Amino acid sequence: MAKIVAIVVAGGAGKRMGGKVPKQFLPLGGRPIVDRTISALAASPQIDGILLALPPQFPADVKESYRGRPKVLQVVDGGAERQDSVRNALAAVPGEAEVILVHDAVRPFVSRDLLARCVDLAREHGAVVPVVPVRETVKEWDRKGKTLSTVDRTLLYRAQTPQAFRADVLRGAYEKAGAAGHRWTDDASLVEAAGYPVTPIPGEEANIKITIPEELRMAEGLLREEADFRIGLGGDAHRLVEGRELWLGGVKVEHEKGLLGHSDGDVLLHAIADALYGAMGDRDIGHHFPPDREETRGIPSRKILEHARGRMEELGYALVGLDAVVVCEEPRIAPIAQALRASIAEILSVPAERVSLKGKTTEGMGFEGRREGISAWAVALLSGFRPISTSERGTA
């Protein structure tokens, strides 16, 4: 039951950043900003599901890749403006949702504490917005008189996201906004205009919004300079039998025999998945996909690797490099190595240069040498980055 749902607004063009790539997809510490934001939300025990609004012109396979992320319930097309993106996502929110959070895709440093406070106080008050005080002196420009005057900054606050609402409040406000035809810069303003009270709560200075190049450089400073590197080793072996298709690295390979297994028997993807699980200190394939489960019989092994990738994203890890070896006499790996490498990179959503693959024989020794089966081994190097809180930075 998805009672607490977060809408991630990632449908804009990000023109203020000045590049061809929308700002939410620019790399931050080796991962797209929006990926880090999704991971932060998925890691919260408060959040049951995530709705993601992406630019409508994005390829279908990119949208499909996000549907496999942890807790992502649906991917919808963003609209011309923020309000349109939220409206599209709101239509896909499950009916049982009690609290809906709306969060900027370019705020990757939202903390679990802030998420928890937003959820709890939205239940109590109906609508909440995190705010931080304006600390600089503020000047107001009189265009007509061409003069500056000082504004009392003690009355001013900067609004952040996530902004959290009881589901009935947000839905009601959007119905009224649609009828009125007005446009608002954030959801709290829209809800206020619909006549609902919005309660301010303390935000967090580290919860920055990345919209211009200078803020992207600041965001890099909020990541630990020393990466948390993790290494994992995975291995697997399956018997070759007649009457089965041969799958290696997510690619169907022409061969007279296939690999026996509860899944499609893709020994290479199994080794890679276990390497990733091992690097994270997670349980192995047998735990996540027990062989006695009838519902997983014949499952494509790419689904297993997608699950491992999802665990990486959920725990905040990125793949630095992967090296894998397939041990067999037949089929020959060299002619298909590039196809296997590209397939693995696509499943893991990483550049192909981060994936290395080679084939080895045993010169007739062992079960591989007798052509009875195929084994595979993989080593994965992961890096993890954790946002440094304001208090940590102050005491560093």
Give φ, ψ of 248 to 5 degrees.
-135, 125
Report the C-alpha gap between 113 and 102 in whole angstroms.
16
Q: What is the pLDDT of residue 303?
A: 92
Q: How many domains does the structure of the chain reveal?
A: 2
Q: Are residues 169 and 315 in the same domain?
A: no
Domain with 80 in it: 4-132+160-221
Q: What is the pLDDT of residue 260?
A: 92
The pTM of the whole model exceeds 0.75: no
151 assigned to some structural domain:
no
Residue 344: which CATH number? 3.30.1330.50
215 assigned to some structural domain:
yes
Q: Are residues 89 and 232 in the same domain?
A: no
Burial 106-138 (b: 16+ CB within 10 A, else e): bbbbbbeebbebbbebbeebbbbbbbeeeeeee
| Beta carbons within 10 angstroms of residue 389's beta carbon | 16
Q: Are residues 204 and 339 in the same domain?
A: no
Report the C-alpha gap between 235 and 267 in whole angstroms.
8
Give the H or E element holding residue 103: strand 99-104
Report the C-alpha gap between 316 and 331 in whole angstroms.
37
Q: What is the pLDDT of residue 13?
A: 62
144 assigned to some structural domain:
no
155 assigned to some structural domain:
no
Report the C-alpha gap between 71 and 7 in whole angstroms.
12
Q: What is the pLDDT of residue 388?
A: 46
Last residue of a domain, one of 169, 199, 221: 221
Report the C-alpha gap between 235 and 148 in whole angstroms.
69
Q: Are residues 90 and 210 in the same domain?
A: yes
Q: Are residues 165 and 270 in the same domain?
A: no
152 assigned to some structural domain:
no
Q: Are residues 318 and 199 in the same domain?
A: no
Provide the greatest CA pair distance for the chain: 91
Q: Are residues 320 and 367 in the same domain?
A: yes
Whole-angstrom CA distances from 280 to 29, 106, 170, 290, 310 are: 18, 26, 38, 19, 12
Last residue of a domain, one of 171, 199, 221: 221
Q: Are residues 213 and 235 in the same domain?
A: no
Residue 107: which CATH number? 3.90.550.10
Q: What is the pLDDT of residue 226?
A: 53
Q: What is the pLDDT of residue 236?
A: 95
Residues of the chain with pLDDT under 70: 12-20, 180, 224-227, 385-396
Q: Are residues 23 and 166 in the same domain?
A: yes
- Cβ–Cβ under 8 Å, residues 77 and 34: no
Q: Are residues 87 and 197 in the same domain?
A: yes
Structure tokens, 178: 């649609």
Q: Are residues 252 and 203 in the same domain?
A: no
Q: Are residues 304 and 175 in the same domain?
A: no
